[in-house]
A and B are shown apart, each in its own frame.
Chain A
């Protein structure tokens, strides 16, 4: 069971960090209450109500695009950590990966996927 000790430590640190940041901010933030600010996530969507409400398709587009580029970051991080071991081969592979995503980005730009209206 010893090998699980770091995980336990990690869990504790995470819990403490999350708890303390939320606690701290709740202690020190200025409060100017109004209906908008009190709604969950502050995203303009009513969290309580009929789940069959229709969303505008734009949300989905943004969400999909977000996930795409978010995953890019997920891949970039471990690569950066082992950059030296992976060497030139890794660099080329990662560049290819970024170029492919870049093509998608350029396409989205042309399709005006980033413009809300």
Chain B
């Protein structure tokens, strides 16, 4: 069997970008959409073919490298433009092109009335190119190119409606915060090169155990710097602040970039560098702790949000935390597994939210929604599947991956991390059902205007929702637990994660323990769902409408009302207040404040330095002479 042409996969979207630029508006909207979706669809088919070819090879030989050309070479420094297809990048390209294709199709309907239709698809295709370069790169430098490329596209797309100041501001914020992460990535990369002598993944990982002392300072610093890059791109503490603001972009962008693909780049990078991270146990601990902290922390903030997209944004931050948690406890394949299932259901949630927003004439506030289930039946049905999936109810996709993360944390002895994960699961289930109920159930709080224009989305937007709903439902079955030698997904990734230094294997759990853990995580989800049902579905407004139909239940509901108030005052209010405080104080004052302070300090310094530029030649000559004097003085004292 001939080797598949890997380089064609990123090349297709790039060619589409070139055609968009060359042909311009001559294509018309239909042509533009066809070109954009066609390129990504073809890339998906190619990716499928490549992955099948990969699967057909013996397990030990599932690494394909395609060297396109030598990028630069100087002395012993050499970097190729070359692509690496192994089981890990295979999963990534399938997710990126597959989910990406669905979102492209969805965007045709969503952006149909936008004046900058072509610009949108141009950026989307550019993003696909950068993202595929990132995941297929076989060296750090090429990965960095993709890394910066997706950052640039993210910036362009967040600020897509640049006439809105908040959108332009959010775009800038995303870019600046990401640059901090990129700086870490770059330094980490340079450190690895300085000590390892190569930037090529295969070669570097091969020499790493010999070059770096396990647990040594160098490898710890290098991996921590890489992880700093990951926290920027994947919105982890402390660099997560840009992601909620990034919701200023069009909703398909939120689904594609800020939920399904780009933000997972950090997780992918950590998984790709698992050899290095395993050499630095301290860094792995940091990854686990930061992931767990983010998972819980973002979830609590999600409780207090009323903007439907912001709830989902904090949820994304939280779920990314779970993925890092998995990597941190050494369960890299569980992290990637969750990355995949999350990309299904979170893309679906965003697209569904987009469908709701579209139907309500750009209303995003949950307080002005409600009772939409019958009016938007398709959107409602698919959203419900996604909501159940994210809460981790079996047999939906989220259950398998989240359960695997939690049991890996438990098995590796990270009980604290495990506990935080379970707590996060309760809260996740709670706020997701809160969102679901406020949006689709209860009484209608729509404005009159929105009521007038209410309509279900067109079929081209519904179709991707349905496909994603199916994936959210069954996508987790590749990870069906309790199989001898691990489940299918784990076996597929095993050649990747098996290599590298010896790693203390997690304690083998007995079946009883495993079942107990499953029970705990399912219970966690159920508790969250039930609480949400109580607080939001059975509140007074709902009660009145229910009461007219079920008069006999009325008394019961009134009694319940009293309990709800208590619960609300005792638990939800303080919790909400706390999360509100976290959001207002920690987010806005501490984190944003620090970022802004750096900016202001630089601007202040700039203003001061400008004062020296008086415009008088005399001053300039004086500085020249002073410079000489300073140098002389230095040498007279030290020379």
Direct contact of A and B (CB under 8 A): no
- Interface set of A (CB-CB < 8 Å, partner B): none
- Interface set of B (CB-CB < 8 Å, partner A): none
